[in-house]
Each structure stands twice: as C-alpha cells, then as structure tokens.
Amino acid sequence: MSKAKVLVIDDEKLLRWSLEQNLSKEGYRVFCAEKGLEGLNIFKEEGPDITLLDIHLPDVSGISVLEGIKELSPEAIVIMITAFGDVQTAVKTIKLGAYDFVEKPFNMDKLRILLQKALETGALRKEVSQFRTQLSSRYGFDSIIGQSPRMKEVFQLIKKVALSDASTVLLQGESGTGKDLVAKVIHYQSARAEKPFIEINCTAIPETLIESELFGHERGAFTDAKTSKKGLFELADGGTIYLDEIADMRPGTQAKLLKVIENKCFKRVGGIKDIEVDVRVIAATNRDVAEEVKRGNFREDLYYRLKVIPVYLPPLRERKEDIPLLAKFFIDQFNREFKKQVKGLAKETEKLFLQYPWPGNVRELRNVIERAMILESTEYILPEHLPVELQSGQVGSAAPSNLSIKLPPGGVDIEEVEKELIRQALDATRGNQTKAARLLNLTRDTLRYRMQKFGFLPEKG
C-alpha cells in the first residue's frame, strides 16, 4: 500500500472524516485541517505529496492558500475541491498552478484514480527537479577550469552574460577550447535554467532539412511531411538554443535566423501562422566570422546581431599556467570513472605538457590523460605513456631533422643503421629508455620491441 501523505483542507467535518476513513484504507497517511491557515502550517510541517483544498474556507480563500502552498513548494500537487457552480473559479486555480479539481459530491473511485495519477505526476516532477539541480551543479561557473588572467576575464564576462537578458551571444575560439561547456554554463546559471537547452550542429544536418529542424513544418509542406512537427526554436521557447558551427549555415537559413532573432516570431515551413518565441540564441564557431563576412560567406547583418556580446575563448597554448589545473581535474575525474588512484603527472610529464603547443586544446589534453589512464596502472602519468608527438614536443608524426645522410655507393644494411642509432641513443642517455625513445621519436614500447629485436634485451622466455 502507498504511504504517500495527503492533506485535506476543508471546513466540512463530515467530508474530512469521510476522506480520512476512505484514504486511510487505501494506505495513505491523511492529515486534516478545517481552516486555510491551519492547513498551511500542516503543509509546512508535513510536506504532503498531495493536498485536497476547498475553494471556500472560513478564514481565507482557497485561492490564497493555493498561492501560499505554491510559494512554499512550486512543484506541489494541489487538487481543488469545488461546489456546484464553481467551475469557473476552479479553472482559474488551474492557471495558478492547481493540478486539477473535483466537484462535490464526488465519486471516491474517480478520486482514487485522480490521486494515483497525481502521485505519478508528482514523482515525475521530483525527478525533473533533481535532474535540473544536477545540471545546475554540473554546469556551474566553477566547472570551467582556469586561473590565468585570460580565463579570469572570460569568467567575469560569462557571469555577466548568464545573469543578463542578452538574447544573443557569440562564442568564438579554436576547436576544443570549451565552447560547448561555456554555452551550457551560461544557460544553467541563468534565469532560463528551468527551460530547455537545445543544441544543434549546423554542419550535421543537410541544408535541405535544417530549416525544417529549426522552425518545424506543417503537414504536407513537402513530400515526407505526413504530420506537423515543432521545430527546435518552438521546443526551446523560454530557454536557450545553441547553434554550433554557425559559420557553416547557408545564407538562406541565415536570413531566416536573423528574422527570428529580431522579430521573435517565425512561420513553420508551409505554415501561415506566426509563432512567437522567447529564446536566447548562443552561436559558436571556430572560424573568423569577420573574415567570412568579407568573403561573402556570412551575412554581415546577422554577424553584428550575434556579436552583441562576443566571448572569445583563448587556446590552451595562450594560457599554459592552466594546464596543471586542467590535468589534475581530468585525473580526478578519470580516477572516479575508472576506479583508479593516479596521483598526478610525473615532473617530466608536466614539463612536456607545458612545452607542447596543444593544437587540439583542452579536448586534446583530456583525451591524452584518458588514454594514459586507460592503458597504464602506475601512480603517476609518465612520459612513455604519452603519444609520440607529445614525447617529441612536435605536432605531427615526426620531429624535424637536421641530419644530412649520404648513401654510400655500395649501399647499406638499413637494419644495421637502425641498430646503430638505437645503440647511440642508449649510450647518450646512459640506458634511460624513456629518454632514448624521445631522441628517436619513438614510444617506449616501440623502442623496447626494437631493442629486443637487435639483442639489447634478453629474448622473452
């Protein structure tokens, strides 16, 4: 039997008694109040799952009690009890947040079904509320890692944007700098956090479909439009729509986007009715949009409309002091995820991290640490756990070479040349395989394989 709490607020003693008897048999814990203020006090103390509230009470109106309950708990489930002829007032209470209403005298069987549905709705509301709380915590301002002067400026700007009523934001920066994360932080730390956050990658949807995706379509608008469909702008009403890779949007769609931003309304594809929306548009790109405007690839009027508040995210190479902080953050994250106890970066590894230009920015740093922690089980992430380009300090598969080697007229044995280079590298590093591998632009595992091949290591038994 359910142990849910039901609060009954009604001035009719017989009705309270009847509800208490019947609902108790159903397994509910029932609390009763004759007056509105008494009911509010019980609500504060017990936090019932459902409140049955009479519209007419001896001390205050049921509408006032409803408003008081909603102030205490916006997600509260309240079912209004009305007398015959009070339907118009009951409908008003629905607009104020009541879940439903029942008319006196009411059928207990119907009331039981209504209570069960209300409980299911309440459980769903709690789940949604908890999920939103988790998202708000996950995408807090502190989820963006960095203490460099450049990032401190970004933090201050993001906070101002999140708390403002700005309808457009333009995020610019190289791939992997965290534009997606910043967009979510702006949304979940704003007054729009309770409303949807919907993202769309402008390169992932064919040009022929993107207009329908953004603005929806009416039935029969095109061959496959068998039913009407809401677009992403309509679904995001009250919230945020995140347009990633905005510079890849076609000029025709750019014009329609500009109109939506300026007029806050649009028509579905094939529709004639204007649909009004209140949406914050966050656009992001890794391109130089001003240059795209000069080339004629991006509308100048849309560019200036989007960049009312531009946010530039610096590449990792321009905020190297943040690298150790980011590395620690990702190590802690993957320790939890992989159930490991990696303490951090070895000193030589940190030195390599600080020297490397990180063309893939924060995303590349995260991937490097994730790979090392999946494949290795040491206390610290060592240089030999890193990709070749990181060990060599060069972007690309091979480091530049100043060698000038001439092929002798009689030719050479390439195996002997390789063996000699490995011997020289080991001699130069006094047998340190990690350093020798770095000199040869090899991974430590590859070096050990070749050492074994040429007899520098004993054969595996």
Model confidence pLDDT, tens digit, residues 152-169: 999 999 999 999 999 999
* 23 and 120, same domain (yes or no): yes
Domain end marker among 314, 335, 358? 314
Position 398 in a domain? no
**In-domain check, residue 409:** no
CA–CA dist 406, 313 (Å, integer): 48
pLDDT at 398: 40
pLDDT greater than 70 at residue 458: no
The answer to whether the CB of 395 falls within 8 A of the CB of 357 is yes
Q: How far apart are CA 199 and CA 93, in angstroms?
A: 35
Query: Final residue of a domain: which of 314, 338, 354?
Result: 314
State whether 55 and 122 are in the same domain: yes
Residue 43: per-residue pLDDT: 95
CATH number of residue 321's parent domain? 1.10.8.60
Same domain, 281 and 163: yes
Label residue 442 by pLDDT band (50, 70, 90). Answer: confident
Asked whether 355 and 316 are in contact (CB, 8 A), the reply is: no
Quick check: 399 pLDDT over 50?
Answer: no
In three-state secondary structure terms, 426 is helix
Q: How confident is the model at residue 459 (pLDDT cuts 50, 70, 90)?
A: low
Helices (H), 26-77: 36-46, 62-72
- Indicate if the pLDDT at residue 353 is higher than 90: yes
Pair of tokens at residue 79: 């079912």
pLDDT value, residue 403 = 52
In a shared domain, residues 283 and 172 = yes
DSSP secondary structure code for residue 321 in this structure = G
In a domain, 426, yes or no: yes
**Confidence bin at 393 (pLDDT 50/70/90):** low
The domain total for the chain is 4
CATH number at residue 89: 3.40.50.2300
Q: Which domain holds residue 204?
A: 141-314
Residue 162 Ramachandran class (φ > 0 left, ψ -120 to 50 alpha, else beta): alpha
413: Cβ contacts below 8 Å, ≥ 6 apart = none
pLDDT tops 90 at residue 413 = no
* Residue 57 shares a structural domain with residue 167: no
Nearest of 284, 278, 276 to residue 309 by alpha carbon: 284
- 307 and 382 co-located in one domain: no
User: Residue 10 domain-assigned?
Assistant: yes
Q: Do 344 and 234 share a domain, yes or no?
A: no
pLDDT digits (tens, 9 = 90+) for 79-120: 999 876 677 788 888 888 999 988 888 888 889 999 999 988
Q: Which pLDDT score, from 0 to 100, does residue 92 have? A: 85
Residue 163 belongs to some domain of the structure: yes
Q: Is residue 286 part of a domain?
A: yes
Identify whether residues 230 and 273 lie together within a single domain: yes
Q: Can you give the pLDDT at residue 404?
A: 53
Q: Which two tokens stand for residue 70?
A: 């909603």
Do 83 and 35 share a structural domain? yes
Would you say 221 and 269 are in contact if contact means Cβ atoms under 8 Å apart? yes
Q: Kindly report whether the global pTM for this prediction surpasses the value 0.85.
A: no
The reported pLDDT for the residue numbered 420 is 87
